[in-house]
Structure 1
Amino acid sequence: MPPKRKSVLPKSGDVKENGVPTKKAKIFHPSHRSERGTVLALGQGDVGQLGLGEDYMERKRPTVVPFPEEASGNIVDIFAAGMHTICVTENGEVYTFGCNDEGALGRDTSEEGSEFTPHKVELSEKVVQVSGGDSHTAALTDTGEVYAWGTFRDGNGPFGLTVEGMKKLPHHLPIPATVVQISSGNDHLAMLTDQGDIYTIGCGSQGQIGRIAECFSIRGGRKGLSLLLEPALVIRPKIRGQGKVFFEDVWCTPYCTFARVRGGGVYGWGLNNYHHLGVEDIKSWFRPVGIESFSHIKVKSVCGGQHHSILLDSEGTVHSLGRVDYGRLGLGDECEESHEPSAIGSLKNEEVTQVACGSSVSFALTSNGEVYAWGMGSNYQLGNGEEDDILTPEKMSGKQLESRKVIAVSSGGQHTLLLAKDK
């Protein structure tokens, strides 16, 4: 048998003092954010996802989002979901705004207009990371517990967050392990544990949960919804002579999941109709497959839109693959669809620290706090004040950015968020 591997991730669980359990240790993962900043929003906001109140349906340039006094300037994490927004304060409190038709805000919005501005979600534990999709939100606590609210959807509409149905308030997910990282697609959720495992729940019709056969992918088939809505393990692939791989990062795109393994290499599963999974065969993949086309890249992170993917490598170089329409790959108008990632040449002189994607748009954040944007311009998500598509990365500008350095970017279905601090 191969030697037992030691986790590179700090473990949590019950800390024992003289053999007596005391309290759970605090978790850590490199994806957690801690730098405070001010939230700026741009794009379309007809259901409140900009957080600017009922009078602002769109913003062509980044605009400061007003938060209650206790949270203002104190945000450390942002997430632009399909049509709602999630923010986390330094103290681990969660604020949401946007569409709440199916419970994605996790709070009461019966007061008229309350979904259009940031309000706190009632959670007794400190949150260190959030994610969201079309109609769901998830929150990871500092002790490795996961809460979620809202609902998952498929081609036939909503089918619940649990087998009991939609959850409009935070619901604890029964994960029998310590979770250190979470990531959401449009309608699925992946949770990485400190032991290198990944649990998934949600829609599986394109293979995105990575643990069921295609015959059960539509609402669980004869096995029922519990197959999809009860968290279960993705079977870790084995490498000959080394045993099972150890997952150390997980990233969801709308209909795909990517996972990096310790020692290098990326596995993926889900929709591949535009080659955006990085596999030559355009079928949907229902189990983890090693992505050979990424093997020459030391992948630092992965993000994606509906039909394209963006990779950031350890050298700060940005690569793109998948569908070419609207300029979402950032490669100009001469590129062709491919499962092979292509480096974005116009960013070669920039040290990129983060990448992000909306449905048909892409972003790169540089080490000096500047944001480059490209892709479909029709929702004003790109921050250049125009509706024209941008085929190669263009630096985002605006009055609110003149005195600020951007430290994080996130983009959803029709809007984009920036987290920035004073220069």
Structure 2
Amino acid sequence: MAPRKAATNSPAKHRPDEDLPRNKKRVVQHLPFATIPTHTGRVYAFGTGDCAQLGLGENILLRKKPANLTALNDQHIVDISAGGLHSMALTREGKLWSWGVNDQRTLGRSGDEFVPLPVEGLDDVKVVKVACSDSLTVALTDIGHVYTWGTFRSAEGILGHSKETNVQDLPTRVAELEDIVDIATGTDHVLALDNTGHIYSWGNGQQMQLGRRIVARRMLNGLTPESVGAKNMTKVGAGSYHSFALDKDGKASAWGLNTYGQCGLDDAKVENIPSVAPIKALEDEHIVDIQGGEHHSIALTKDGRLFGFGRSDSHQLGLGYTEVPGTEDSTSHKKAIRTPTLIGGIPPVEAISVGGNHTLALTREGDVYAWGFGEMLACGNGEAEDVETPLQLAGQQIEGAKIIKVAAGGQHSVILAVHIA
């Protein structure tokens, strides 16, 4: 089925140097387009699945340990993504399979929600990266096009997919965007980085996560991608209601909700950061990835160390304590560690994925460590209790396997593993 033609609901994006005379235009270093991963593996899920997010069939509503999605074993899966209540798997041919809640059409297809099935409407494109929010899915192609489906939500309910469409059933191209090299999603917002280092945002902007002010009576204006004003960036990341960017030197910036210090600003009086601001506490570190959960954030350095900051009442930061020792305040309902703090007890890390209130860290040796909120079993340790410090993931089905991808969702987790003979 061919993808529906996207309605053009705003002028083409404006680049900061377009108004300069031809011989005065700035020299811009172009970033390379994203490429599809090459290593294939088998998909495993664990956590709570009462909303179909495990993909193991309607009779399996929870798994304490990683369980194989046998339906995908012959599909040559190279990447995975987990949202609030749905998941995506990417094949080496650039096609997508989906499972989980489909109330707002986040799966991009019809059919059984409890098992993986192919996403429709992408026959003529090659997807190289996919990102899941709560009610929206975003796909990036090999030529820098962006496709989305589902909808955005606000505090008042469904906000819409675009000004013209409330809920988008099948993948549709975002006509305003070209030459995109990276994408990231929060709960209800999206970031896209183009090959000249400019970032565009759209979705719900009630917590300043779009990097621009959206007037309450004109919230639909947030559904059109616009520049956040950042320049020379090389990567984007997002938390539920906050956003991140990295430059070529590994310097991190943030904006959006900061109630727990999840933007790295240690000032309890600043609950929102309205525009792109450097994370000064990390200025001496070379950051290669930075992601957030509902109210916490994790930064990965070039040499494989992790820093955590933000909400900590369910041990989201993996530090073993919920407040800085010596400053405990039993009257506070906002337990947080607002300054980026080194997370110990874990070997050098290759990649991270941050769920709503838990984190997965993939080491350079192919092991996974998990910590945080444990009631939904998304840490994979078999216990419905919070995991205070990084704990190595284990399970009979992944014994002896090397993990190559991790994806932390709202109440579940997904991993991609290669079994070594």
Partner of 1:160: 160
CA distance in 2, matches of 1:204, 1:217: 9
CA distance in 1, matches of 2:151, 2:52: 19
| Residues 254/217 of structure 1: CA separation in 2 closer, same or farther (3 Å cut) | farther
TM-score w.r.t. structure 1 length? 0.87
CA distance in 2, matches of 1:234, 1:174: 18
Matches within 5 A, 1:75-90: 75-90=77-92
1:64 pairs with 2:68: yes
CA distance in 2, matches of 1:8, 1:267: 20
Contact kept? 1:330, 1:392, Cα under 8 Å: yes
1:343 pairs with 2:342: yes
TM-score w.r.t. structure 2 length? 0.87
Partner of 1:258: 244
CA distance in 1, matches of 2:66, 2:251: 36
CA distance in 2, matches of 1:344, 1:217: 39
Partner of 2:144: 144
| Offset from partner CA, 1:6-34 (integer Å, 9 cap, x none) | 42512xxxxxxxxxxxxxxxx336xx533
CA distance in 2, matches of 1:353, 1:263: 18
Percent pairwise identity: 37
SS at structure 2 position matched to 1:228: helix
SS at structure 1 position matched to 2:314: helix
1:273 pairs with 2:259: yes
Contact kept? 2:94, 2:127, Cα under 8 Å: yes
Partner of 2:402: 405
Partner of 1:374: 371
Partner of 2:329: none
| Residues 354/69 of structure 1: CA separation in 2 closer, same or farther (3 Å cut) | closer
Deviation at 1:3, TM superposition (A): 9.2
Matches within 5 A, 1:310-389: 310-333=298-321, 335-336=323-324, 337-347=336-346, 350-389=347-386
Which has the larger displacement, 184-193 or 170-179? Answer: 170-179
Partner of 2:106: 104
| Offset from partner CA, 1:103-135 (integer Å, 9 cap, x none) | 1001113xxxx1111110120201000001110
Partner of 2:197: 196
Contact kept? 1:79, 1:87, Cα under 8 Å: yes
Deviation at 1:420, TM superposition (A): 0.5
| Offset from partner CA, 1:33-58 (integer Å, 9 cap, x none) | 33211100000011211110111000
Which has the larger displacement, 85-94 or 331-340? Answer: 331-340
1:309 pairs with 2:310: no
Matches within 5 A, 1:108-187: 108-109=110-111, 114-122=112-120, 123-124=122-123, 125-164=125-164, 165-187=166-188
| Residues 398/290 of structure 1: CA separation in 2 closer, same or farther (3 Å cut) | same
CA distance in 1, matches of 2:302, 2:219: 42
| Residues 9/335 of structure 1: CA separation in 2 closer, same or farther (3 Å cut) | same
CA distance in 2, matches of 1:87, 1:132: 11
| Residues 395/69 of structure 1: CA separation in 2 closer, same or farther (3 Å cut) | closer
CA distance in 2, matches of 1:173, 1:386: 42
| Residues 106/266 of structure 1: CA separation in 2 closer, same or farther (3 Å cut) | same
Deviation at 1:144, TM superposition (A): 0.7
**Alpha-carbon RMSD:** 1.7
| Offset from partner CA, 1:159-196 (integer Å, 9 cap, x none) | 11111211011111013431111111000011110011
The one-letter code sitting in structure 1 at the alignment partner of 2:227 is: L
| Residues 3/314 of structure 1: CA separation in 2 closer, same or farther (3 Å cut) | farther
| Residues 375/191 of structure 1: CA separation in 2 closer, same or farther (3 Å cut) | same
Deviation at 1:209, TM superposition (A): 1.0
Deviation at 1:399, TM superposition (A): 0.4
| Residues 392/171 of structure 1: CA separation in 2 closer, same or farther (3 Å cut) | same
The one-letter code sitting in structure 2 at the alignment partner of 1:81 is: G
Deviation at 1:333, TM superposition (A): 2.3
Deviation at 1:285, TM superposition (A): 1.4
Partner of 1:7: 29
Contact kept? 1:207, 1:217, Cα under 8 Å: no
The one-letter code sitting in structure 2 at the alignment partner of 1:155 is: A
1:42 pairs with 2:46: yes
| Residues 300/38 of structure 1: CA separation in 2 closer, same or farther (3 Å cut) | same
| Residues 144/3 of structure 1: CA separation in 2 closer, same or farther (3 Å cut) | closer
CA distance in 2, matches of 1:7, 1:177: 16
